[in-house]
Amino acid sequence: MAVEQFSGKVAFITGGVSGIGLGIAKTFARAGIRLALAYRNEEHRTATAQWFAANGFEEPLFVKLDVTDRKRFAEVAEEVEAHFGKVHILVNNAGVSVFGPTDEASYADFDWIMGVNFGGVVNGLVSFIPKLKAHGEGGHVVNVASMAAFLAGPQAGIYTASKFAVRGLTECLRYNLAPYDIGVSLMCPGLTRSNAFDSALKRPEQFSDSGFGAVKEGDVAPLAQLFEAGMDPEEVGAKTLRGIAENRLFILTHPEFQEDFQEIADTLMAALPDEEAPPARLAVETQRREAAKRAMERAIDLSDLVS
C-alpha cells in the first residue's frame, strides 16, 4: 500500500503524546491519518494538542490510559470506535525503560516491566484485533519493541525479556492476521531522542519494592545527554510508516547494528551441529515451513502441521 492510500484511515497509538509515539503520530497526521492517542501525562497531552492546532491538523481523540488496565483498555477501544466508526491501524508503543542487574531483581521489578512492556501489548491486541477484523477493510498492527528484542545486555534482563516476548508474539501474530488482510510489524528502534530515560522515576507505588534500589532524579540525569544523541522521533515515525506501507515484518530504523546482527547470525550457524539430520525429522520441518507459507493466505490448524 502506498503511503498516500492511508489518508482517512484511523490509527490508535499508545504512549502517543511524547517520544516515539508522538513522532509516529506526527508522521501519520502528515499522511492524512486520523488519530486517537492514549496518554498519561497531562502536560504532554496539552503540548501535543497545541502542536496539532498550530500545524493545521485535526485534533486527535485523546484518551487517558494505563496500558496495564484491561478494563480501561476495553473501554478505550469502544470509545475510539464510537468516535471514528472504524480503526485500521493499532500501534502498541507504550513502554518503560528500566534497568538493573537481573540477579537482584524482585517480583515487583518483573511484574511492573513485563506488565507494561508485554502485558500492555497483549491488552492492545485483545481489545482492538476483533474490531480490525470485523470491518473487513484490512489494516495493520505495529508492536513497538526495541533493539533489545535481538540484543541482550547485562543491565537489561527484564527489559530484554519483555522485548523478546513482544518479538515472538508479533512474528506469530503475523501468520494469524494475514488472511484478514491485516499486516503485522515489529518496530525495533535504537537510541531515540525521547524522555524514555526517566521511566524509573515513574514507578507505581504498588511496585515500589524494587531489587534495583531507589532511583533519584540525579541518577538518570546523565542519561538525558545520552538520549540527546538519539534519532529524531519523527524520523523513526517516517520509517515506521514506510514499513507499514511495505508490510514489513521487521521495521528496523537504525543502521548502526549491522555488526551485531552479523555476529548473531554467525554464532547461530556455528552452534548448529555439523551432522546430517534423519529424513523423518527433515520431513517434519519441511511441512512446518510449507504450513507457514500457507498461513499467509489462510488460517491454518494443527492438521496443517501433522499429517
Residues annotated catalytic, as ranges: 159
Question: Rounded to 5 degrees, what are φ and ψ at 68?
Answer: -85, -5
Which three cell numbers mark 302? Answer: 494443527
Report the DSSP beta bridge partners of residue 89.
11, 140
Closest CA to 13 of 72, 82, 52, 60: 60
Angle formed by the axes of helices 19-30 and 233-245, nearest 10°: 60
Nearest-angstrom CA–CA distance, 169 and 258: 24
Alpha helices (H) along 178-278: 217-228, 233-245, 258-271
**CB atoms near residue 99 (< 10 Å):** 20
Strand partners, 231: 192
